Every structure is written in structure tokens, then in C-alpha cells.
Amino acid sequence: MTNSANHSAAYIPSSQSITVLSPATVANMVCGFDILGFALNEPNDELTVSISDQPGVEIINQDDFDLPTDAEKNVSGAALLAMLEECPDIKGFRLLSNKQIKPGSGIGSSAASAAGPVVAANHLMGNRFSKEDLVRFAMFGEKVASGVKHADNIAPAIYGGVTLIRSIFPLDIVAIDAPPLHVTIVHPQIEVRTADARQILKQNVLLRDAIKQWGNIAGLVAGLIQHDYQLIGRSLEDVIIEPVRSILIPGFNDIKSSCKEAGALGGGISGSGPSIFMLSETAETALAVESAMQSVYNKIGLDYHTHVTTINTTGVKIK
């Protein structure tokens, strides 16, 4: 843990501010529940932070999501308050939040809200904190959103690329050198709250299922490191979480089968849903996968949004 005594450097005057683009993320990567995630190049939240002479965190929302402005009840506010605890020379922060990632979409809306402000504030203060420190602060925001301090969305948002959370306590984050991957996401216009999606999970797992899951996680990590697309595809299987959570998402099985037929390597629920992601080796396949997703939801008659993008290798970016 960082010692706050080492972080009392002079800061940039409060009249200056920094605007960042904080990325959407995909957590779990099918079999890697709470331990694997990756950042997306689109969409992004736009967040502007300045240092304030007023104590605490002032939040001004510039979107239509009607999120709390009480810092302790706000994901961004909780993350910045945690940072302030280790910044005795800073009184407070002011945040302008313009979210483009819809809360409850399953592509890391809360993580973007938590990661972006602490990265911006860190730049204002001369980058006194490490990336691991920033993840630690941002996890306080995730606790506000879901009741649990998890980092599988936070870590890729801050580190970029694909990350493995080997441990939460103590925090141990491993960046994975993944190959180029194209990502297709469909967001059916329903909401699945992370806290609700956690409540329905089984608390006990059969040993045979655990063994199969461990093999898939190891295979997926090995495939990413070795840039082996076929091994990645074979390993994108979840026998523990997906069978339970998929019942919350209309058309899930049809989406998954039609996308595989269109050439996707594989995919599944993004975070706790309702978004579904698919990985492809080429841009052409990713677009074909988008068409397959659209066809399924057009038949069902359910409104949706799609994104075709790539993995963001840098994380939160200064605008």
C-alpha cells in the first residue's frame, strides 16, 4: 500500500484542469470471472477534473443519467475521496462528468466513472501515484456500484489492453500481451444491475466444473500470450457463471450460435450483462458478427445498440 507521507508534493494551481476519455471495458472474458478484462477503444466517458480549494469532491453531471452528486454515493466521487485520503496537501476536487457509457450496460460504465477521474487527478498532481495505486482508489467506486471491490474492469481501464487480476488482497495485476483482436458488442436495451446479477450466482461449484473452468482460463491466458487465435477460441467457454446469468439476457443462445457461424472466435456475457461481446480475428469478420447480432434482435423485436471496435492498449487517455 502506498504511504501517503510520500505524496505531499506541490500541486498544479486549481485553475488548471484535465479532461480524459475513460474507456468502456469487458470483464470476465467468459471463463475469467472477476479476474480477466480488456479495454475498448469505443465508447468512452469524458471526464474533466480540477483541483479545488473547497474540501471534498464537487460533482457536476453533464449527461442525462441523473447519477448522484453526493460524492460518497457517486462512483467517481468515492474513488476521488479515497485518493484524497492519501493527499494531505490537496483539499478537494471538482469533476465535470459527461458519460457516454450507459450505466447498467455491462461494458464497465462504473469502472470508467471510477478510473477516469483518478487518472486525471493524478496527472494534475504530477503523477505521484502508480497505476496499481490508481486501481486501488478506483475500486472504492466499484464498491459503491456493486457492493464489491472488484478490479476486472478497473485494471484494463487504467492499464489498457488485457489484464489478469491474480489477487485483490493484496492487489496483484498482470498485463497480458494479447494479439490484435476485433470486438463486436451488442447491448440489448434492458438493464441488468451488477448487484442483482451477483445475487443469482451459485455459491458452490462441482469439482468437475471447476477443473474444466481452470483449464479454459489457463488456455485463454496461454492463447493470448502466444497469440494463438484458435486456442483463444477453444478456451472461450464458461461452465459456471454463464449458464446462470444468460437467463437474464433475451436471445443469448441464438446470439452466441449465430455469431460463431459468422466466424467469431467466441465470446459471451460482457461483465454482468446485458451486453454480449464477441472476439474476431479480422475487421471483416467483426462486421459479419454485428450483422448476425442485429438479425437475432430484429427478429425478437428488442431494441439494441451495437459497437464494432478494437482493444484499447493504453487505457484512460488525456484528451
Domain ranges, ordered by start, for the chain: 4-176+314-318, 182-310
Superfamily of domain 182-310: GHMP kinase, C-terminal domain (3.30.70.890)
Nearest CA to 40 out of 315, 285, 317 is that of: 315
Q: What is the pLDDT of residue 104?
A: 85
- Fold match, 4-176+314-318 / 182-310: no
| Nearest CA-CA partner of 177 in 158, 167, 162 | 162
Give the residue numbers marked as catalytic.
Answer: 142, 194
∠ CA 121-125-128, rounded to 5°: 100
Q: Residue type at 60?
A: I
Grid cell at residue 140: 472504492
pLDDT tens for the 319 residues of the chain, in order? 334 334 444 444 444 899 999 999 999 999 999 999 999 999 999 999 999 999 999 999 999 999 999 999 999 999 999 999 999 999 999 999 999 999 988 999 999 999 999 999 999 999 999 999 999 999 999 999 888 888 999 999 999 999 999 999 899 999 999 999 999 999 999 877 666 667 778 789 999 999 999 999 999 999 999 999 999 999 999 999 999 999 899 999 999 999 999 999 999 999 989 999 999 999 999 999 999 999 999 999 999 999 999 999 999 999 9
What secondary structure does DSSP assign to 118-161, as a single string?
Answer: HHHHHHHTTS-S-HHHHHHHHHHHHHHHHSS---TTHHHHHH-S
The CATH number of 4-176+314-318, from 3.40.50.300, 3.30.230.10, 3.50.50.60, 3.40.50.1370, is 3.30.230.10
Q: Please give the Cα distance from 8 to 284 (Å, whole number).
A: 51
pLDDT reported for residue 202:
78
pTM assigned to the model: 0.91
Q: Are strands 36-52 and 92-98 parallel, antiparallel or unpaired?
A: antiparallel
Contacts of 30 (CB under 8 A, 6+ apart): 216, 220, 236, 237, 238, 242, 266, 267, 268, 269
